[in-house]
Chains A and B, each alone.
Chain A
């Protein structure tokens, strides 16, 4: 068993970037997300004996993180937002400021969704889980996940003003980028704080 523990811990570390991305999607800010990931790792290692080797460790960690988020959320009864832009200021590897603004836009839009719809949409559309896997993580039926994802997509499309090929999106943003660098006013949206 002692030989398998280090391997599991290495796998846990490998899963950290995905866990952080999921946590930021749920929390809306990077500090809260990092605390959530830390709680998840502590709980996972404390209950490592309940993990069955050979099963999906990443999905197990996602389940712990999701349950921990809901437990914390019930305690606080309030959503934490990135009102002061701390997340955007802490993104260090983004290529330019337009990208920071857009990540902030997407995160802010996600925070406007119901938490069950948000987690379902992120698991399916961003994290790449199947409906069955997402259902196992969320503790509900695959049909429920499909319904939540559909509602969340519709709501997010409304919030981000995505409506057909001319809607707000990376392609339009990148097309506008040269105009911005020349000092033009080709940006599809106004400057954000």
Chain B
């Protein structure tokens, strides 16, 4: 009984430590920095907006679908 409780406590402690499968520990600052890099790069691409080819493409597909529906 005592042993089971001991194992349970160990598991809980282990869960609280942020380790990956390789055993490396990542502190909050590093995690935040990785995320900010990613978000920043992602936002740069998002800010390019909608290229014209996609506006045309959706219009074409819409027309094609309308034609198919009417026939």
Contacts and interface: CB of A to CB of B under 8 A. Distances in A.
B51 interface: yes
B8 interface: no
Contact of A16 (B31, B37, B41, B50): B50
A98 to B, nearest CB: 12
Contacts, number: 127
Interface stretch (A69-77, A149-157, A179-187): A149-157
Interface residues of B, number: 37
B24 interface: yes
B49 A17 contact: yes
A167 interface: yes
Contacts of B12: none
A91 B44 CA distance: 8
A99 interface: yes
Contacts of A156: 34, 37-38
B62 A5 contact: yes
Given A42-B61, A151-B20, A167 B42 contact: no
B53 to A, nearest CB: 7
Interface string A1-21: 000011001001100111011
Interface of A: 5-6, 9, 12-13, 16-18, 20-21, 24-25, 34, 37-38, 41-42, 45, 48, 91-94, 99, 102-103, 106-107, 110, 121-122, 125-127, 147, 150-151, 153-154, 156-157, 160, 162-165, 167, 169-170
